[in-house]
A = this chain, B = another copy of it.
Amino acid sequence: MAHDIQIVTEAELRRLVSLDLSTVDVIERAFLALAQGRVAMPPILSMVMAEAHGEVDVKTAYVSGMEGFAIKVSPGFFGNPALGLPSLNGLMILFSAKTGLVQSLYLDNGYLTDIRTAAAGAVAARYLAPAKVETAGVIGTGVQARLQMQAAHLVRPFQRVLVHGRDHEKAQRCADDLASLLGIVAEAVVDPAALVRDAQLVVTTTPARAPVLRAEWLHPGLHITAMGSDQSGKTEIDPRALLAADAYVCDRVSQCEVSGELEAALAAGIWDRGTPPELGEVIAGHKQGRRSEADITICDLTGTGVQDTAIATHVHAMHPTAGTVLRA
């Protein structure tokens, strides 16, 4: 039976959707739902196409009470830059949670993922960073480096931001962008140890396969969000740092065990603290996060299907008739 399907392109979504506190609140509620068991979230479907130098991930989640559920398809083809194309693409499909009918096709090429990922960083900072953050730091210089600092600034309006990257020129460009975006002092720094020392909130946004943040650099009153690791073998944080922290919090334990920072700590056999708390459990008050301004906290974000369902449902609720409507 034919019904209306909304199709919204990346360009249209960029005009309609931005990172703001309402988006952060939507993502916070998604994590809360996860902690309250109001969610069905199957393991990620993942397919590697070795000869095409490509992979594709499919994530989904059903959140009880939400009008829709999203299925997100994220292809990554790593020969694309040589063809003048971005590596990452994909789309989100929003289905009615009552009838399963397709409601919206968001041809976002990963834009909504960028937004919901940054929003999760803001939620982590809101619940785990010290109340007072004067200086924030970011290790990484890509899209998420910028977005994570914008997100953190929404909930901890720091006056200064430090940027470190392997490529110092890219770090400088990222710092320049952040200075202009946030209207604050921004510096590119060569030494990541100095960045961590001077900051109260640090976000790592790299695809690193060896730690970029050492346990020796931790200091009282520091919060770290590691959002780069999203696949087995990736790691940003020295596994000993997870033990040195007063709280290590996962977005989803089952994912962090196989694709987050916990993977390396488990593989090294040094993790001895049982099941870590999840961000939603900290939001719900079921588990403890930061206890004092002096605590050291780490939040490990691997990316969850509830965030996709939450952002897609939010976009549909805000802009139900945007884009092209097709009767199909």
Contacts and interface: CB of A to CB of B under 8 A. Distances in A.
Interface residues of A, number: 55
A181 interface: no
Interface in A91-123: 91, 93, 95, 97-102, 105, 107
Contacts of A107: 5, 102, 326, 328
Given A46-B42, A58-B45, A99 B85 contact: yes
A77 interface: yes
A54 interface: yes
Given A7-B7, A54-B100, A101-B85, A71 B69 contact: no
27 contacts: A2-B11, A7-B7, A7-B326, A9-B328, A40-B48, A40-B49, A42-B45, A43-B45, A44-B45, A45-B45, A45-B58, A47-B61, A47-B62, A49-B62, A49-B69, A52-B62, A54-B100, A58-B60, A73-B93, A76-B100, A80-B100, A85-B101, A89-B99, A89-B102, A91-B93, A105-B105, A107-B328
Interface of A: 1-2, 5, 7, 9-11, 40-52, 54, 56, 58, 60-62, 64, 69, 71, 73, 75-77, 80, 83-86, 89-91, 93, 95, 97-102, 105, 107, 324, 326-328
